[in-house]
Amino acid sequence: MRLKSIKLSGFKSFVDPTRIPFPTNLSAIVGPNGCGKSNTIDAVRWVMGESSAKHLRGESKTDVIFNGSNSRKPVSQCNVELVFDNSDHTLRGEFAAYNEISIRRRVTRDGDSSYFLNGAKCRRKDVTDLFLGTGLGPRSYSIIEQGMISRLIESKPEELRVYIEEAAGISRYKERRRETENRMRRTHENLERLTDIREELERQLAHLHRQAQAAEKYKNFKEEERKTKAQLSALRWQRLNSEVQEQELKIAELETKYESFVSQQRHIDTEMEVVREQHHDATEAFNRVQERYYQLGNEIARFEQTLAHRQEQSAQLLQDIQEAERLMQEAVSETETDSELVEEKIETLTFLEPEIEAAAEKTEIAQEQLAELEEKQSAWQGKWDAFNQNAQGPKRQAEVAQSRIQHLERVLEQYHRRQESLHRERQQIADNPESEALAQLVEESDLLDEKTEELQMQLEDLTDRQQQHRELVEAKRLARDQARQELQQKSARQSTVKALIKAAMSEESPGVQNWLASHQLREARRLAQDLHVEASWEGAVETVLGSSLQAIQVENIAQLPEALERFKEGELTLIDRSSVVHAGGESLLSKVSGSADLSGWLGQVLIASNLQQALDRRASLQPGESLITPEGIWLGPNWLRMRRGEDSQHGLLSLQQELETLDELVDELEVTEEDVTVGLEMAQLQLKAVEDEREQTQREYQRLSREQAELKAQLSGKRVQAEQLKERKGRLDQDIAEVEAQMIEEREALAMTREELQQALDSMEDDVEEREALLGEREEYRIEIDEKRDLVRQSRDAQHQLQLKQQQLQSEVDSYQTALERAKTQKTRAVERVERLKAQLQEKEDPSDDIQFELEARLEQRLELESQLSEKRIVVETADSKMREMDQSRHTIDQQAMTVRSELEQSRMSAQTVMTRRATLQEQLQEQQYDLATVLENLPEEANEADWEASLERLATQIQRLGPINLAAIEEYQTQSERKRYLDEQDQDLQRALEVLEGAIRKIDKETRTRFKETFDKINAGLKELFPKVFGGGHAYLELTSEDLLDTGVAIMARPPGKKNSTIHLLSGGEKALTAIALVFSIFRLNPAPFCMLDEVDAPLDDANVGRYAKLVEAMSEHVQFIYITHNKGAMEMAHQLMGVTMNEPGVSRLVSVNVEEAAELAAM
């Protein structure tokens, strides 16, 4: 088998659909760094089931999807397909017949991952199982990625053992052993559950056995109780029947008395109707007078209210007039006061005007003196400006220099602090423990990835098992339902047939039934119940025997003469069970077997196969003989009898035969249903165990996934922090260098500025005397000007104060004049309001004669109406009194009638109750299949209810002493016993299965030890042979770390030529690479994988070692397909197919393929 091609689309940098063919056994993939060469190897690992993002050089599972570039958008999914040539049928199993096998994997942005085998969707486990034992796999020795050489050679002994196991092909044995152990664990769990069920069932059986015994006693007591209850019901019926007759006489008397009272009620009702009409007329007249009286009262109240309202208005007007006069007086008083204030303020303003003029003149004189002094000071300022202009240069230079010196010193101090801060921060970064934490997080993340992947595989396996168990449970449930349905159908038919047989056998008259019950023959077996007829002859036997099939089997008829004498009514057939004659010959008796002698009925009835044969043989019949066919056609010498259709007897034997068949079938179906139910319970237990295990694994997987996500987030954060710290450290180094250069520049500038300051100070000392003289003159001018300015300011302040006082007085005058005008206006308005209110009061005080006259008229009318109203009220009250008397009489008669009626209803109810109880007792007897007349006839003369009730209580006490009774205990006991037997068999089967599984594990362990030891020895021999070839000398070997071949680790020991290394870790990088190559190729020589992928394995090697490596690969390519990535020219030269990966478009890989041999041939031409 070999890898034919790889098809990529959207995988990492291969965004466009790309096909990478591998037509030869030596194919090299070349290209510059970062072009996407290693993505081809990642694609192979990914399709073969790799689920760890770390091993695919990513952080999440969706990192394999093209994430976009400067010119391309991200894609939503990626696909990778591996096409294998299986023409040599390397793969086994169901795919062995395929010459070409396609494996494809697809993943989307939402994390949905799908696998396809030859276009059919499958599980990841199916893909990994496909390559078990072939040396292929996502982490097998057939794919050597970057850095894997060093990891391989430095791996722990337990990790190195995995490669030996893969080479030995025992990975599938380990998988089988793991599955076998899981099955053993599940079998142990099932055994524990089964043991619990069996123990519980044993306890139930012991309990059911006791219940079954109690149920038998209970049935006997209940039968006696039923009979006693029937007799007690008959006694009670007699008593109730007498009570009914007494009640009927009492009801007749009460009905007569009640009719008398009803006649009296009708007479009183007629008289009351007349009185009621008189009362109605009187009431109408009274209501009319009363209505007019109420209307008149309303009119009187309205007139009185109008007069009261007018009086209230007059009182209010008087109050308003008084208030208006008070306001008028206040306005007059305010007018006089405001006039006096205005005159006073005007007089004060007249006195202020001379003072304001004097203050203005004084201020003007002071200003003129101040102007003269300011002109002198201006002349001095000219001389001072000329001096300063000459002396300003050195001073300015000194000030600038001083300021610059201070600035430079501050800058140098800042640079110094900045330098110290940068050095501290750089030291903190150097001492930061985040690098160690990052390494620890990476290690924890790798471990979690492996655990998560393992749990994911377990979940897939458990999901498959869960589905299988669910299908099994569903199949078991369907089988159980079908068995139950069939059992229900057959049980229903069984009940129907039993009912038909019982109905057919219970058609005796009541006299026959009573006779049978009195002689304990009700439960005696009928002839048809013990009669066995050969198939197809049931109709013939039924035709001959007819109603005799209901014959009651007794031990000896001769023992029943007295009983037969008491038989008075009906038809009765008895048959002895004491003698059985086995018939022979060709009579119908030969077709029958049973417990009774039927020779008298069937001995002379000959059989014929059909009607024609019977007709032909009829002439040869002897006296008393007859012929019958299987169809039931019965012939004599001169007669023929046949029956068609159905009646009460026809088909009784067929029903009996069917019942026997149904009894056997129902028993079988019950056992089958029990077996299927137990099987379903076991399947459900197994499904529950798998579901519990899957749920537990799912919880663990979710927990690990959460931890993985948290760890990834921490790891990402730590990586970002580490990158930031690295960048920050670089920036700090740059900043420190810049600060040191700037400090040197600033120190040089500070020295130059200090020299300039000293020169300026020397020039300034020469101008000191002239400056002091000018400053003295300036001080004299300053004092005189300050004095004059104070004088001008005081004069202005005095003038301003007088002006303010003048303005204030003028404002007060204006305010008082305005108030005066307002008071005059208020006075005028108050006078007008008083006059207007007095006019209104005059109008209100005029009395209203019309209203007073109308009021007095209405009062007189009311007095007249009051007299009329009294007369009408007397008439109404008289009618009311008469009606009350008649109502009283009617009420008395009603009460008497009601009493009689109540007694009548009570008697009727009592009679109905007694009759109902009597009918109920009769129905109860009928339901219990007792005839009332027969029971009464058979009762002893001294029978009474008290004795029979005592008997019932005694029976009830005996039943109660039995305690709770389970009537189904007997049948349930048998059913559970059968179930116990079945479970015991299941327990034995599980024990045997456990022994088989343990034997399988021992066999797997034995095979694993043998194959591992053989493979280890061969690989060790191959390593000893290849190592000197690769190194040009030296030696290497493998050794086991323990004696247990199932768990031992594998260590590698290597000593290159001329060295005596005590450990493999002391070898150089190139030596480690060569040692790993020798080990990998030793494995390949023993169990060559279909192909081998090498990713820059030759990177640590020098040219000489590359040559040895190339020759070794080329020699092994005759048997193994090699696909390798290299930058070495020597390795490129040996390739038969060169494929270049370019990235002309940033972020997008493209493929260029060249067949070296074809190119060489073209070049030679």
- Binding-site residue positions for ATP: 32-39
Nearest C-alpha neighbor of 107 from the set 131, 138, 130, 75:
75
d(CA 73, CA 328): 97
89, 111 Cβ separation under 8 angstroms: no
Q: Which tokens in the block code for residue 700?
A: 């663990």
Query: How far, in Å, are 311, 314, 841, 857, 979 from residue 846 at the CA level?
Result: 11, 10, 9, 21, 123
Amino acid at 1129: K
3-state secondary structure 93-146: HHHCCCCEEEEEEEEECCCCEEEEECCEEECHHHHHHHCCCCCCCCCCCCEECC
Rg (CA), the chain: 66
d(CA 261, CA 901): 10
d(CA 483, CA 995): 33
- 969-1031 vs 652-765: helix crossing angle, rounded to 10: 40
> Please, is 860 exposed, middle or buried when counting C-beta atoms within 10 Å of its C-beta (0-12, 13-18, 19+)?
exposed
293, 870 Cβ separation under 8 angstroms: no
Nearest C-alpha neighbor of 26 from the set 1157, 1126, 1122:
1122
Q: Binding site, residues?
A: 32-39
967, 213 Cβ separation under 8 angstroms: no
Nearest C-alpha neighbor of 930 from the set 589, 510, 628:
510
d(CA 167, CA 1085): 10
Q: Would you call 587 helix, strand, or coil by DSSP?
A: strand
Other CB atoms closer than 10 Å to residue 606's CB: what's the count?
22
528, 501 Cβ separation under 8 angstroms: yes
CA dihedral 385, 391, 395, 400 (to 10 degrees): 70
Q: Which long-range contacts (CB under 8 A, 24 or more apart) does 595-602 make?
A: 595/530, 595/553, 596/527, 596/530, 596/531, 596/551, 596/553, 598/545, 601/544, 601/545, 601/548, 602/541, 602/544, 602/545
Other CB atoms closer than 10 Å to residue 142's CB: what's the count?
25
* Residue 1153: strand pairing partners: 1139
Pairing of strands 26-30, 1121-1125: parallel
Other CB atoms closer than 10 Å to residue 1161's CB: what's the count?
10
Q: Which tokens in the block code for residue 608?
A: 């014929």
> Please, is 756 exposed, middle or buried when counting C-beta atoms within 10 Å of its C-beta (0-12, 13-18, 19+)?
middle
* Residue 115: strand pairing partners: 105, 122
Which secondary structure element, helix H or strand E, spans residue 28, and what is its range?
A: strand 26-30
DSSP state of 65: B
Nearest C-alpha neighbor of 569 from the set 510, 617, 621:
510
* Residue 65: strand pairing partners: 11
Nearest C-alpha neighbor of 505 from the set 411, 432, 573:
573
1142, 35 Cβ separation under 8 angstroms: yes
